[in-house]
Amino acid sequence: MYLFKRTDELQTYLDSVRSGNRSFGFVPTMGALHEGHLALVRRAKMENQVTISSIFVNPTQFDEAADLEKYPRTPAKDVEMLYRVGNEVLFMPEVKEIYPEGEKMDATFDFGGLDHTMEGRFRPGHFQGVAEVVSRLLRIVRPHRLYLGQKDFQQYVIVREMVRQLKLEVEVVRCPIVREKNGLAMSSRNVRLTPAERERAGLLYRTLQEARALSVDHSPGEVKTRALQTLRQPGIEPEYFEIVDARTLQPVSRFDQAETVVACTAVRVGDVRLIDNLLLRGEWT
Ligand code: AMP
């Protein structure tokens, strides 16, 4: 596996292997890797000749300094895991490689409201930071395909919109959520849960499944109320539970109002923030 810390060295290498018929698959991550990340790498390997991953904890997408500081970092283990799954190129830049003039952002993206609901409401500026870093990484790597997890569904929708607005020639590939045995969506943040909290956090997925069952003969409003009741347990603090149109990310008041309807939720378990989502109606686009 080739490991680069510097942008110019990565680009020189990628230019030397770039040729007409070789496709590049790119998996951006913030490290503290788990099976969810590795599933993206495996998928990229299946569909491309060269797989490039990155590990970069992007400061501009953190709305709380303490959250950035507490973000888990396990670089040696990450390198080992990527090597084992056969990832070919790893980019691990320092902050100054990506933000040479300090953590300043170039553009203010207008996502037409996609970034103001759900995560955007609780994490102001988060998606501007995500769009900034992904656009910078895409311009450095210039992949044919970009692999993103369904786990961060709103992020996927927003990055896809950013790629469209910037007319970047990259296919955005959505990969399914990888879960623990109790249904908890894998996340780098899960290592900060105690064993009891980790068990308790299985409630998120059970609530989403219950919502899907209820959606057959209840309105989105009723399903939401019930889900919030289920989530309010000792040690769990729900932030939101929204039932949205997968295209606009706006809440629906009837299930037949949108082709694809998704339930998205965020909760705090102890001081760890967890998100998850489940398709309720229709098919992923
Ligand atoms: P992160 O390191 O949290 O920024 O995640 C990097 C990529 O991995 C993002 O596209 C995430 O959506 C994806 N990802 C994280 N957790 C999972 C999971 N449990 N299943 C599938 N993809 C995931």
User: Rounded distance, CA 223 to CA 118, Å?
Assistant: 17
Instruction: Note whether 132 and 106 are within 8 A (CB).
Output: yes
pLDDT of residue 125: 93
Q: How far is ligand 1, taken at its centre, from the CA of residue 35, in Å?
A: 9
Q: Which of 20-29, 143-152, 168-177, 201-210 shows the lowest per-residue confidence on average (mean pLDDT)?
A: 20-29
Q: Of these residues, 34, 37, 116, 218, which one is catalytic?
A: 37
The size of the chain, in residues, is 285
How high is the pLDDT of residue 38? 98
Structure confidence at residue 285 as a pLDDT band (50, 70, 90): confident
- Rounded CA gap, 225 and 211, in Å? 10
- Nearest atom in ligand 1 to the alpha carbon of residue 150 is 12
Q: What are phi and psi of 133, to 5 degrees?
A: -70, -40
Beta bridge partners of 273: 268
Q: Is 34 a catalytic residue?
A: no
**What does the longest C-alpha to C-alpha distance in the chain come to?**
58
Q: Which of 87, 127, 151, 156 to mutate to test the pocket of ligand 1 (most atoms within 8 A of CB)?
A: 151
Report how far residue 283's alpha carbon sits from residue 235's, in angstroms, rounded to the nearest whole number.
34
Nearest atom of ligand 1 to the alpha carbon of 188 = 3
How far does residue 37's CA lie from ligand 1's centre (Å)? 5
Q: Ligand 1 pocket, 162 CB below 6 A?
A: no
CA-nearest residue for atom 10, ligand 1, is 148
187 lines ligand 1 (CB under 6 A): yes
- pTM value is 0.97
The tens digit of pLDDT for each residue in 156-210 reads 999 999 999 999 999 999 999 999 999 999 999 999 999 999 999 999 999 999 9
pLDDT at 102 over 90: no
Least confident range of 43-47, 144-148, 227-231, 269-273:
269-273
What is the pLDDT at residue 107? 80
Residue of 35, 37, 55, 184 to mutate, ligand 1, most atoms within 8 A of C-beta: 37
Answer yes or no: is the C-beta of 40 below 6 A from any ligand 1 atom. Answer: yes
User: How many other C-beta atoms can be found within 10 angstroms of the C-beta atom of residue 255?
Assistant: 17
Q: Is 105's pLDDT higher than 90? A: no
